[in-house]
Amino acid sequence: MNGRPISGASVDARGRAATGHGGRRGRTGLSALILGAVLVTATACGGSGGSGSGGEDKGSGKTESKQSQAVVTIAPKNGADAVNTSGALEVTAAKGKLTEVEVKDAKGREIAGAITGGGATWTPSTHLAAATTYKVHAVAKDAAGLTSTAESSFTTLTPKNTFVGHYTPENGSTVGVGMPVSIRFTRGITHPEAVEKAITVKTEPAVEVRGHWFGNDRLDFRPKEYWKPGTKVTVKLDLDGVEGRPDVYGEQNKTVRFTIGRNQVSTVDAKTHKMVVRQDGKVVKTIPITTGKPGYDTWNGQMVISERLTVTRMNGETVGYGGEYDIKDVPHAMRLTESGTFIHGNYWGGGTFGNVNSSHGCIGLRDVKGGYSSSVPAAWFFNHSITGDVVIVKNSHDKTVAPGNGLNGWNMSWEEWTK
């Protein structure tokens, strides 16, 4: 042996050839080295093996990612607090076009909005709720079709001063064909457009319904003509977060539903001292009545029953008539105006019904003290009436009742109502 290693064998530290099992391990190790070299060569020739839309640098064996040129900007910035409920939220795209914008609160309720300007801008179509956290997810695409996304979260302001709307009629009620939707606000409204936009009135079957303001604290809605019997009305008060006046925000989110009952319209003729009651256009009853005496004449015009009281007290001092009368047990009373006009039972009128006008402006029907009898005209009319029924007075010597005096907007033409 000349000291050189035997082919296929390993060499120990002294230069001696290893034999036996040691020789077999040596052959295996050499094979591994050769295989490793082959793999390294293959990897260097084949590139990185990565995937995606990125490009490849063939000189260096490295991959470059292709990034979208579109830039999405969300206002307000991420983490913003005390954000205004209107006018603050906007999503824009530069060097590309918005393709998707989603804004949701913590309960998953989505805010509607629209992409405009050819994909440049998204804005909400409604106000945001107060004291609410919203998350925004937006996607834009550049000219090459590559997408860019952005996300943000912010919280709206918590108002110090708030208002609500008290509504008529009540949820779940059945009312007459003259009943408007009437909403009275607890604070005077100086931003009426914002408040009116947050209230929707939908009907089944569909009919156009428009709103009209009486002063700055009352908004009524009605169709052009009396409601059709059977109409189902849904009112949504989405007032939470609406700025009704500077730094005063709505705090109400309410849905009200009611149904229109049969059509009952009663016509009082102050000259003939009679009232004709019609249901669905047919006469069902003619009742002798008394109206306001000279100097206290009853209003003319269309009046809507807004309240029904089995018995009530009527005191002349409450309507500017001093101590002329104070009747503690007026039976079967139904309110027609806020100024104090009622159609009610009268047990003290004697033979005035059908003959002479003797009241202080109300419409009186014969009744008995205590209102216990169901056979008297006042009881019959009370039992066959519901809130929202219409009472029309004609041939009185007074002027037409003001549209805002009670639920009496029917005394305005449609042109006046909608202008």
Q: Catalytic: which of 127, 212, 360, 362?
A: 362
The pLDDT tens digits for 282-304 are 999 999 999 999 999 999 999 99
Measured distance between the N- and C-terminal CA atoms of the chain, rounded to whole angstroms: 120
- Quick one: pLDDT at residue 319? 75
pLDDT given for residue 59 in this prediction: 45
pLDDT attached to residue 94: 98
Q: In whole angstroms, what is the distance from residue 347 CA to residue 334 CA?
A: 16
362 is catalytic: yes
**pLDDT in the model for residue 322:** 72
Q: How many CB atoms lie within 10 A of CB 235?
A: 22
- What pLDDT was estimated at residue 324? 73
pLDDT of residue 33: 33
Q: How far apart are CA 407 and CA 388, in angstroms?
A: 9
Dist CA 70 CA 382 (whole Å): 70
45 is an active site residue: no
Rounded CA gap, 104 and 132, in Å?
Answer: 10
Going from N- to C-terminal start, the domains of the chain cover 71-155, 161-260, 264-408
DSSP states of 329-390: EEEEEEE--TTS-EEEEESS-TT-TTT---BSSSEEEE--TTS--SSSHHHHHHHT--TT-E
pLDDT of residue 325: 74
Q: What is the pLDDT of residue 316?
A: 76
Topology (CATH level 3) of domain 161-260: Immunoglobulin-like (2.60.40)
Say whether 161-260 and 71-155 share the same fold.
Answer: yes
The pLDDT value recorded for residue 321 is 77
- Of 3.90.1310.10, 1.10.3720.10, 3.30.470.10, 2.40.440.10, which CATH number belongs to 264-408? 2.40.440.10
The H or E element that residue 235 is part of is: strand 232-238
Say which CATH topology domain 71-155 has.
Answer: Immunoglobulin-like (2.60.40)
Q: Strand 174-175 relative to strand 253-260: parallel, antiparallel, unpaired?
A: parallel
Residue type, 97: K
Tell whether the torsion through CA atoms of 17, 19, 21 and 26 is positive or negative: positive
Select which of 344, 360, 384, 397 is catalytic. 344
* pLDDT score recorded for residue 70: 98
Eight-state DSSP code of residue 111: P
Give pLDDT < 50 ranges for the chain.
1-61, 63
